[in-house]
Structure 1
Amino acid sequence: MDKKLTLSLDERIIEAAKLYAKSNKTSLSKLIESYLNSLSGKTKPSEITPLVESLSGVISIDDNFDEKEEYTRFLIEKYK
């Protein structure tokens, strides 16, 4: 059951939060709800946050990309 909550915050913070929420295609209410839920430790592991959702699809990987092979190459280079 949803309930209304009144908050008093600095106007600049509110405007920045509104811009962030809009750029992540969510509402300020959902953003705050998600944040408060994460503080309580009750966030579902399968729940996708607005930030993660905004990053989805940013990188495209070839179908034949082998993660283990690339990681092995990375480690070999790193520890030369």
Structure 2
Amino acid sequence: MQKKLTLSIDEDLIKFAHKFSKETHQSISHIVEEYLSQLKKQKDKKEFNPRLENLYGIFEDEPIPDKKELRRIFHDKSHN
């Protein structure tokens, strides 16, 4: 559902927005909507469970260990 939004923006940015809008054949509303959509996607990707976030990237430079080693690493990380 589309709704209207009023923004207060610096005059130079307004001029830039109009120029960019004409150059790219996009409405300013579409440009702002796309930008906010990208921000939302980035934010959604970064929200992990804190326990999972502690483990993120742990095996980036090494091969994945066996199951027993994984459990040990998980418990070590979750207790720190």
Give the TM-score, by structure 1 length: 0.50
Structure showing greater radius of gyration is: 2
**Normalized per residue, which structure has more helix?**
2
